[in-house]
Structure 1
Amino acid sequence: MAKATKKQALGRGLSALLKDPQNDIKSAEDKNADKLVGHIVELELNAIEVNPFQPRTSFNEESLRELASSIRELGVIQPITVRKLDYNKYQLVSGERRFRASKLVGLETIPAYIRIANDQESLEMALVENIQRQDLDPIEISLSYQRLIDEINLTQEQLSERVGKNRSTIANYLRLLKLDPIIQTGMRDGFLSMGHGRALINVEDPQVQLEIYEKILANSLSVRDTEKLVRELQEGKPEKKSAGSAPAVSRDIKKSIKEFSDRLGAKVDVKVTKKGNGKLIIPFKSEDDLNRLKKIIQGED
């Protein structure tokens, strides 16, 4: 307990140091800069602006509320990272969910690590931090890799070293961006896995890609089934007609599915048999997202 109290006291001391205009720290060479780097500092939330380079622009409101509830009970356990812009003015590098949730709770300060970085370094730090997240879909990761290459001017080899991934892994992600945008959206919504995408990328014709994509959805094709279908197509083998292929979906059903999708905030899929019965498929990206859908269905939201 004493150790935690000492850390908090140190944070308050550094906060006072940062508020002294005569000791304004702007670079690593400035006086007292060594006291700042590597330490946790309590910063006022209203002195921090969001990062314009943040790769993620969509934040799940239900997930934010749950994080806010945790922060209300336990406080901010993991400090955010900011870069210093000017006197008592900072910009987020990473930790925007914690920042937003802290505001929801009504906190006035938040623990933070302070970095001194230019815009390019800030973009790189935000992108690399974003890539390390566990809940990103393959397309989000691919886009972050591409931005690092385009905006930081990194080679795939340099990018491999920065993010700690094999070059072949990075190349496989980047290839997904060559898929038709509709297929990319399907991957982001959870209808396709990265394995499906890697199989489809071997099909050069975008229209054929979309045709196979529709078959994957209609018949719940596995990655192995998709690879086989693509291989047979490339070898010129005629496609086998499935006796259980899905019938056409009526206009009324399509309208109902759109209403479901709009209400749930997720792309709902449907499978209908020749007898007229069927089932709905509602994808979710995480346990939090599943709980959000559950509350909507139960009429709690």
Structure 2
Amino acid sequence: MKTFKVTKAKTQTFKPTNIKSLTEFNGAIAAGVNGKVLTKLPVESIEVRPQVRTVIENIDELAESMKSGQLMPITVIKGENNKYVVLQGERRWLAAKKAGLETVEAIVVDAPVSDSERIFGQLTENIQRDNMKLQDLIQSISQLIQNGFNQTEIAARLGKDRTYISRIAALASSKKEVLKLIVDCAVNDAQTAQILNNICEKSTNIAKDLEACKDKDGLISRGSAQAVLDRLQKIVPQKPKKVVAFEDRLKKKDFPRGYRRVPAGKALGIQVEFLDEAGEKVSGNLLPRLLSDRHDEVCVLREDNKTVVAVPVDKIRIRMIDELA
């Protein structure tokens, strides 16, 4: 088994306020930076474990930059077999390897007390720089919620607005088509992703409309997504409310003797009360389009047994009149 010699940190007493630039910070190898240890470690003595950021870009550019010097140290914890594990700064470590550097500057800290603390630490480093991919944010926020933190607590710990955290958390239940676009990095903005979800709700051809949101590079901006949604909201027909008057629901055999149905006018729901032959109060709906040769009676559809009866007009009390269409 290959072993590595770790250079013991030279120590000197100073306060963080003594550091006036990143260059000075880069050159300071000391104990006492926020109570931690700043040292140089062999690149090959460091390993990584799952991070909140799974999509890491521009390694080549950073590797070229690190050949001229490392501006910020990585943060590690002690692992097993004289190894160290990256807590923050995986991209810098990968760039150091690619640049062929033998050592990398690192701050050795105590291991997080829980998985949630690890996630909070990694999110804090990346989220403030706005360089995290949306899919990583969604997974991390969802994991913290599963671990028992509410959105208000998460927002406070990360220094973000609660609305921002709520928007990210809601995207975990996105449409499958939208989730694929997020994973493919075609969209990296939470509000844009929500617009895409709205498009899926209204579209009759989801694949075509989502494709229309993309630019020539296959990326989706908020403006292009909103334009497609606006178009869908204008062309989606509103289904007219189908209202059938009570008279039209009846068959001729249900009419009282001597009654006929006249052509439809404005459909009205006229709720009435009357006393039946037993003297009991009965509720029903007046059927004004069923007319009799007798002008002192009207037709009523009883609410209790759904039968149509003829009732003397002087026995009717109108309760309410509603438009049905």
| Structure 1 residues without counterparts, runs of 5 or longer | 15-33, 239-301
Q: Following superposition of structure 1 onto structure 2, how do residues 47-196 of structure 1 map, counting pairs within 5 Å?
A: 47-50=45-48, 52-60=49-57, 63-73=58-68, 75-85=69-79, 88-118=82-112, 119-120=114-115, 121-150=117-146, 152-187=147-182, 188-190=184-186, 194-196=190-192
Give the whole-Å Cα distance in 1 for the aligned partners of 2:46 and 2:51.
14
CA distance 1:38–1:235, shift in 2 (3 Å): farther
Pair 1:36–1:141, CA change in 2 (3 A) = closer
1:42 maps to what in 2?
40
Query: Which of residues 200, 211, 223 in structure 2 aligns to 1:217?
Result: 211
Deviation string for 1:29-79 (max 9, x for gaps)? xxxxx68824532222233221x231233434xx22221111112x11111
Once the 2 structures are TM-superposed, how far is the Cα of residue 93 of structure 1 from its aligned partner? 0.7
CA distance in 1, matches of 2:224, 2:239: 20
Compared CA separation, residues 209 and 78, structure 1 to 2 (3 A): farther
In the TM superposition, what is the alpha-carbon distance from 1:92 to its structure 2 partner?
Answer: 0.5
Q: 1:124 to 1:209 in 2, by over 3 A?
A: farther
Equivalent pairs counted in the alignment come to 210
Instruction: Using the TM superposition, give the Cα deviation of residue 81 of structure 1 relative to its aligned residue in structure 2, in angstroms.
Output: 0.9
Cα distance, 1:114–1:194 mapped onto 2, change above 3 Å: same
In 1, the alpha carbon distance for the partners of 2:33 and 2:129 equals: 30
Paired-residue identity, %: 27
SS in 1 for 2:91: helix
Inter-CA distance 133–211: structure 2 relative to 1 (3 Å threshold): farther
CA distance in 2, matches of 1:228, 1:9: 55
1:111-138 CA-partner distances (Å, limit 9, x unpaired):
1122102352333322433333433343
What is the DSSP-based 3-state SS (H/G/I as helix, E as strand, rest coil) of the residue aligned with 2:85? Answer: strand
**C-alpha distance in 2, partners of 1:44/1:219?**
47
Shift in Å, 1:228: 2.9
Q: Deviations over 1:231-275 (max 9, x none)?
A: 45888269xxxxxxxxxxxxxxxxxxxxxxxxxxxxxxxxxxxxx
Q: Deviation per CA, 1:137-170: give whole Å up to 9, x if none.
A: 43332222112222x4311111011111111111
Aligned CA RMSD, in angstroms, stands at 3.7
Residues 77 and 109 in structure 2, CA contact (< 8 A), matched pair in contact too: yes
Amino acid at match of 1:185: K
Of Structure 1 and Structure 2, the greater helix share is in 1
Q: CA deviation at 1:9?
A: 7.7
Does the 8 Å contact 1:131/1:144 carry over to 2? no
- Counterpart residue number, 2:230: 228
Q: 1:158 to 1:215 in 2, by over 3 A?
A: same
Which amino acid in 1 is paired with 2:138?
S
Q: 1:265 is matched with which residue?
A: none
Higher RCO (Cα < 8 Å, 6 or more apart): 1
* TM-score, length-scaled by structure 2: 0.53
User: Is the 2:152–2:162 contact (alpha carbons within 8 Å) kept by the matching residues of 1?
Assistant: yes
Whether the aligned pair in 1 keeps the contact of 2:75 and 2:106 (CA below 8 Å) is yes
- Cα distance in 1 between the residues matched to 2:232 and 2:39: 55
Q: Greater CA radius of gyration, 1 or 2?
A: 2
Quote the Cα distance in structure 2 between the aligned partners of 1:215 and 1:48: 46
Q: Distance in 1 between matches of 2:191 and 2:34?
A: 45
State the partner residue of 1:285: none
